[in-house]
Amino acid sequence: MDKVIRIGTRESQLALWQAHQVNNHLIAQGYRTALVPIKSEGDIDLVTPLYEIGVQGIFTKSLDLALLNNRIDIAVHSLKDVPTQLPQGIQQAAVLERGPVKDLLVYKTNPDFLQQPGYVAAIATSSVRRKAQWLRKYPQHQIFNLRGNVNTRLKKLADEPWDGAIFAAAGLERINVRPETSIELDWMLPAPAQGAVVAVCRENDTFCLEACAAFNHAPTALATQIERAFLRTLMGGCTTPISAFAYIENNTVHFEGELCSLDGSKFFQTSRKAGIDDANNIGYDAAQEILAQGGAEVVAEIRNAK
Ligand SMILES: NCc1[nH]cc(CCC(=O)O)c1CC(=O)O
């Protein structure tokens, strides 16, 4: 095995951690590898909220281009940042075993304000999904934009007069940040594929596809495929107030999905179960159910707001 597999990664601490997981798997199988850092547009512009940039795949585009231009052989992404339709010529090669899936609120001093009905809390997030879900539960709160990588966001939270900010538990854990002042938002259904890492490669690259197939984690691949089918059927975008979570227990797939209007005032949810061999379409079916219940109108509203 003389060929060196070039693994492309963004330069953030989180991206590097994820790329190292893929690297470790390949090395364990006896492959020779090299990590190639690539700058991404999502890392550069810290001011404009993601929904204003409006570009699908902002975090993944530069790596995908490097892949198509043959500068790298494998791109490693957070699967939740990957558009549901992969760029032409690029194929999913492996999904790693899922890490923590939930979102956390990192607060300043104590979280008692969440129990005070009249209090107008200032909560920071640039995720349209988190904003919508938060406003649905706490309509009186104010949401502030907060962009950048996890470290940048934590520092900004410390500097600003905000009560708290929302983070993916996986993102914090992977860069070894465990804030004592945080609570898990068990009521907040996560983004489709949150906590999962994907390796993609060129679709004709049988050498890399085979190398990656060996560490694909089938249950995570199935769960995230279902969650992403739900997202794709409803909307197809990656910065929408759509949440989904599937998990497998005793050969049964359990699925939950939600669609929220941008201000949290309208809300649709569904859940279903299926045997592992009959589960392929449950994300699609769940999305069709929500569209039929009136979700189509909310989807149109979200599209028009962009
Ligand atoms: N959108 C940015 C992003 N993409 C992946 C993660 C963390 C890892 C994950 O959620 O899978 C994060 C940070 C966050 O949402 O707080």
Give the C-alpha distances (Å, rounded to integers) separating 277 from 63, 85, 192, 235, 250.
34, 24, 21, 26, 12
Is 163 a known active-site residue?
Answer: no
Query: Is 81 a pocket residue for ligand 1 (Cβ < 6 Å)?
Result: yes
Query: How close is the Cα of 168 to the center of ligand 1, in Å?
Result: 6
Which domains are seen in the chain, by residue range? 4-95+196-216 (3.40.190.10), 103-184 (3.40.190.10), 242-305 (3.30.160.40)
The pLDDT, as a whole number, for residue 39 is: 81
Catalytic entry in 81, 103, 205, 285: 81
pLDDT by 10s per residue, the chain, length 306: 579 999 999 998 999 999 999 999 999 999 999 999 998 665 555 555 544 444 456 678 889 999 999 999 999 999 999 999 999 999 999 999 999 999 999 999 899 999 998 899 999 999 999 999 999 999 999 999 998 888 899 999 999 999 999 999 999 999 999 888 999 999 999 999 999 999 999 999 999 999 999 999 999 999 999 999 999 999 866 568 999 999 999 999 999 999 999 999 999 999 999 999 999 999 999 999 999 999 999 999 988 886
H runs (alpha helix) in 116-266: 128-137, 150-159, 169-174, 206-213, 218-234
Chain segment 60-79, per-residue pLDDT in tens: 888 999 999 999 999 999 99
Cβ-Cβ contacts under 8 Å for 36 (sequence gap 6 or more) = 6, 7, 8, 9, 66, 71, 72
Query: How close is the Cα of 272 to the center of ligand 1, in Å?
Result: 26
* ipTM computed for the complex: 0.97
Query: Is 125 a pocket residue for ligand 1 (Cβ < 6 Å)?
Result: no
The pLDDT, as a whole number, for residue 50 is: 47
From 61, 78, 184, give the residue whose CB has the most ligand 1 atoms within 8 Å, as the site to mutate. 78
Smallest CA separation from ligand 1 atom 11, residue:
195
